[in-house]
Amino acid sequence: MIRQAIILLVLSTAVGLGGNLISPNRVDFVGKFRDLSSGDQPIVPPTAEPGDPPFVGINEAQMEFATGKPLFLDARNAEDFDCGTIPGAINIPFEALPEGDLGKYFDSTLGVAKDYPIITFCSGEDCDLSLHMGRNLKLLGYTKVAIFFGGAREWEKFGLEMQRRKSCGS
């Protein structure tokens, strides 16, 4: 019985790990999930209004990051983005959005379907660009937008990896 159980475990491990190599839904073998002692509750700005996209806390943000699926959208200016952002995030400075048809602009810049999960963020509690970006995306028909209002500061505070394109001091 024990021998059979071991064979079944080895077989399942081989198929599971081997299949992951060729699966279109493959995941990293080593998870990036972290257990954080606090941060379960998302930071919600006082300017939040009913109908705004949902707010996510640091735990949920890092969990979504660990799945590798959502598009993290940094709404700050390029300099802040270069100084340190969530790894893999793309930068669309909210304050430098072009005039004209924003729908076309986002469709071409983001390059994802309207129902693709997007998480907007900026510096943190003193910055509301992520909120405005999230509202705009929602108005433009993006259905799975969430706002990580804790932003890059909270991400760094919890010791999560930052992507730095240049050194900016502290």
Partner 1 sequence: MRKLIDNDYLTLLSRLLVGGMFIYASFYKIIDPAAFAKSIWFYHLVPGKWINLMALILPWLEMTCGLAVIVGFWHRGAALWSNIMLIVFIAALASAIVRGISIDCGCFRAAESATHSAWSSLLFDIGALVFSVHLLASRSRRWMLSSR
Binding site for partner 1 (CB under 8 A): 1-9, 11-13, 15-17, 19-20, 23, 25-35, 63, 66-69
Which residues, at least 6 apart from 12, have a Cβ–Cβ distance to it below 8 Å? none
Name the residue nearer to partner 1 (CB basis): 21 or 96: 21
Name the residue nearer to partner 1 (CB basis): 24 or 98: 24
Question: Least separation, in Å, of the C-beta of 16 and partner 1?
Answer: 4
Kindly tell me the burial class for residue 23, based on how many C-beta atoms sit within 10 Å of its own C-beta (0-12, 13-18, 19 or more). Answer: exposed
Question: Least separation, in Å, of the C-beta of 15 and partner 1?
Answer: 5
Distance of alpha carbon 30 from alpha carbon 9, whole angstroms: 19
Name the residue nearer to partner 1 (CB basis): 118 or 131: 118
Name the residue nearer to partner 1 (CB basis): 2 or 96: 2
Kindly tell me the burial class for residue 147, based on how many C-beta atoms sit within 10 Å of its own C-beta (0-12, 13-18, 19 or more). Answer: buried
Residue with tokens 């257990």: 35
Question: Least separation, in Å, of the C-beta of 100 and partner 1?
Answer: 36
Question: Least separation, in Å, of the C-beta of 82 and partner 1?
Answer: 28
Distance of alpha carbon 91 from alpha carbon 106, whole angstroms: 12
